[in-house]
Amino acid sequence: MTSTIYVLNGPNLNLLGLREPEIYGTATLDDIAGMLEDRARDLGFAIDMRQSNHEGHLIDWLHEAQAEGARAVLLNAGGYTHTSVALHDAIKSITVPVIEVHLSDPKAREAFRHHSFVGLAAAKTVEGHGPQSYLLALEAVAEL
């Protein structure tokens, strides 16, 4: 096991800071990466932060996390959270712990967001704390 934590971000998260700031806030993905890298360094971890709008990339990166012996994966699958059996299966196929992350609270939003295929397979879910959700998930890794 390495000290690397993969932080995988799905569709539309490249638009954080611009996209629906009333829901997702004004922090960009780069802002979140900086915050995570600073805290990870304090905890003795390294962050490998990635974003893709393509489901297959996220699946490949989950497999890579396993092959590279990552400490954990923080996964904000965006809209794929509610639709992707393939991501669910990829999470179930690896032994690296996956923590589901959401900026908003999906259960407080539209009904179609209340079901999470990712959450069914993840070791833990952190949601509804804005950018702090990522930090809380990182702290959870430190406790594993």
Catalytic positions are: 24, 102
Distance, CA of 107 to CA of 30 (rounded, Å): 26
In terms of DSSP H, where are the helices of the chain? 21-24, 29-43, 55-67, 85-92, 117-121, 132-143
**Residue 8 to residues 11, 22, 55, 60: CA-CA distances in angstroms?**
10, 23, 11, 11
Q: Are strands 98-102 and 72-76 parallel, antiparallel or unpaired?
A: parallel
Question: Are residues 99 and 113 in contact, defined by beta-carbon separation less than 8 angstroms?
Answer: no
